[in-house]
Amino acid sequence: MGAGRRTRSVLLLGTIVLAGLMATGGGFGPWPVVGPATESSGLLRATAAGMPALPGHDWPTFLADNGRGSDNAGDNVLNVSNAHLIVNLWGATTHGTIAASAAIVSHKAFVGSWDGNFTAYDLLTGAVYWQQFLGTSVYCPSQVSIGVSSSATVYNNTVYVGGGNGTYWAMNASTGKVAWVFQEGLSTKGYYSWSSPLVWKGNVYVGVASLCDQPLVPGGLDELYASNGSVEHRFRTTVGAHLGGSIWSSPALDAATNTIYVTTGNPPNNNDGTNYTQAVIALNATTLAVTSYWHVPAAQSIFDGDFGATPTLFTDSTGRPLVGAVNKNGWFYALDRQNLSAGPVWERRVSHPSSIAPAAFAGGLLFIGTKQTKVGGVVANGSIEAVTPGNGTIVWQDPLTGPDFAAPTAANGLLFVGAGKVLSVINAANGAVLTTFPCSNWFLSAPSVGHGVVVEGCANGHVRAFGLLSTSGGGFGPWASSAGVPAGGTAAALLPARLEDPRTAPRTRT
């Protein structure tokens, strides 16, 4: 997405409070008011009053939680033993590419499309409860319309999500009624809301980014009041008239230290006079003051060398807190959360350039999806690998039929990977592929897993749900549904099992 230096855009900031605006086009379903909720990792999990509670757990934000670990370990409906019984439960068609992951809370799945619509689906049947149009922009290279790419966060019965035109929205999760809209900047000036909101202690944190660097905008992170969308604090990655340093990934939170971690994009011409571009940065969650940072060294920097991957918070076997992300240069960097400036604890080139997939952390392993690389000495279009968190040593590695653009998703010993045109269900312990599902186009978003249902979107505009059919035929999973759910497709042929990694060991700093 690189581009030359441009004149600084005029920034339009503000909050538009829209009272009484109702969803149109999708209709409202029989969804009751959400009842009492409890807080876990900064996220509220709601149970619908008058509806039976579902087994398992919610997936209420991008990559499951505020640490962006992409793991729903407590969702125990699906497992290695029954993975071969997973089928396509339902599908819904939109009029645009699906690049956002779903949020799953109680009986609802929330997901946006490039047609500009954001929809609340019934998790069990795919029925539409409500729908809102959140705007579109024109994507620079291809001049196609691009709508919602941001994945939603659902907190205390409010949905927070980025729109398709440089906006962020807050909506009632039950009805779709709009509470407020924050205009970060005009899409005609290059602004676009890639980032998925982080919600913490009454605030919403959102990245500031350009659509395709044509033109660049002043990148950064905004801290908004969750109550009305007005700005409380701002952090900017550049100074003066400099542009670039977009935060088009999503912020991650270490709640124990009140620290937010962000990854940043490229400056114009790879030189902007600051060290906050192509960097991993730690910010005080209250003030957005920088507490530590590290940026990619010049020897490894490439043109358009963004961190497109959201940072993943994880720990090694001793409990040491680490943060890691892959850069577009193909290198994965793992850093000490308490001392980013010391440089990587370990680093390794995991793929050819342009990798942007966040990692997943589950069961003591770190899972990294890649674009083109070598597996067993043979070039693969993509790969998924499990590594030891403390030093990056590969435990197992699978080739994929296509590039992995989004994070792998873990749940109860399973790994779900949408790469190329195949969604794979993998044994997280050894890399054995248990079943696969095809799509006619690319998977661009990470799968979401909640209450035994896997929700994934495809570039063909389809949103699909996968899970278990009950033996009685009256629903799926270990509960009954009042409406029958049609089984979609059957599992495709299995991919090859794990192959040994031929590459050199990672470089480790003690």
In the chain, what are the domains?
60-508 (2.140.10.10)
Cis peptide before 215 (omega within 30 of 0): yes
Q: Buried b / exposed e across 362-382, counting CB within 10 Å, b at 16+?
A: beebbbbbbbbbbbeeeebbb
CA-derived radius of gyration, the chain: 21
Amino acid at position 357, single letter = A
Contacts of 234 (CB under 8 A, 6+ apart): 220, 221, 222, 223, 288
* Neighbour tally for 25: CB within 10 Å: 11
Give yes or no for a contact between 382 and 403, defined as CB atoms under 8 angstroms apart: yes
Tens-digit pLDDT string for the chain (510 aa)? 333 322 222 222 232 222 222 232 332 222 222 222 222 333 333 344 557 889 999 999 999 999 999 999 999 999 999 999 999 999 999 999 999 999 999 999 999 999 999 999 999 999 999 999 999 998 776 768 899 999 999 999 999 999 999 999 999 999 999 999 999 988 888 899 999 999 999 999 999 999 988 888 999 999 999 999 999 999 999 887 788 899 999 999 999 999 999 999 988 765 555 679 999 999 999 999 999 999 999 899 888 888 999 999 999 999 999 999 999 999 999 999 999 999 999 999 999 998 999 999 999 999 999 999 999 889 999 999 999 999 999 999 999 999 999 999 999 999 999 999 999 999 999 999 999 999 999 999 999 999 999 999 999 999 999 999 863 344 444 433 323 333 332 222 222 222 222 223 333 333
- The rounded distance, in Å, linking the Cα atoms of 160 and 229 is 10
User: Whose structure tokens read 């390794």?
Assistant: 348
Provide φ and ψ at 65, rounded to 5°. Answer: -145, 175
- The rounded distance, in Å, linking the Cα atoms of 96 and 82 is 33
Q: Which two tokens stand for residue 2?
A: 């690189």
- The rounded distance, in Å, linking the Cα atoms of 7 and 384 is 41
* pTM score: 0.84
**Ramachandran region of residue 107, left (φ > 0), alpha (ψ -120 to 50) or beta?**
alpha
3-class secondary-structure state, position 482:
coil
- The rounded distance, in Å, linking the Cα atoms of 252 and 207 is 11
Tell how far CA 327 is from the center of its chain: 16
- The rounded distance, in Å, linking the Cα atoms of 318 and 336 is 13
- The rounded distance, in Å, linking the Cα atoms of 428 and 500 is 16
Amino acid at position 198, single letter = L
Biggest alpha carbon distance in the chain? 66
Amino acid at position 358, single letter = P
